[in-house]
Amino acid sequence: MTCADHRAAISAQLDGEAPADGRGAHCADCAEWLAAARRLQALTRAAEGPSPEWTGRLLGSLGLGPAVAGEAEGTDGTSHGGS
């Protein structure tokens, strides 16, 4: 098993897509990668999610949801659309 294969399997386990197989790290680099992945997972789970407004603007800009008021304004306050 290559490091890439091992990391893909571990990633699936961390995401809950595969049962843990109980195997340890493939090598020192994989052990370091796993530790970083676990830290990232913990930070991500502890972080507050984006606001409903932010999510609406993102989905609207991708054409996946309704446009939200203020969507046409950039982060600098300038208009990026219309006439």
pTM of the model: 0.55
13 contacts: CB under 8 Å, gap ≥ 6: 19, 20, 21
> What pLDDT is attached to residue 83?
43
State the chain's maximal CA–CA distance in angstroms.
60
Asked whether 25 and 34 are in contact (CB, 8 A), the reply is: yes
> What pLDDT is attached to residue 21?
75
pLDDT tens sequence across 11-55: 999 888 988 776 666 799 999 999 999 999 999 888 888 888 888
pLDDT tens sequence across 50-73: 888 888 888 888 888 765 455 444
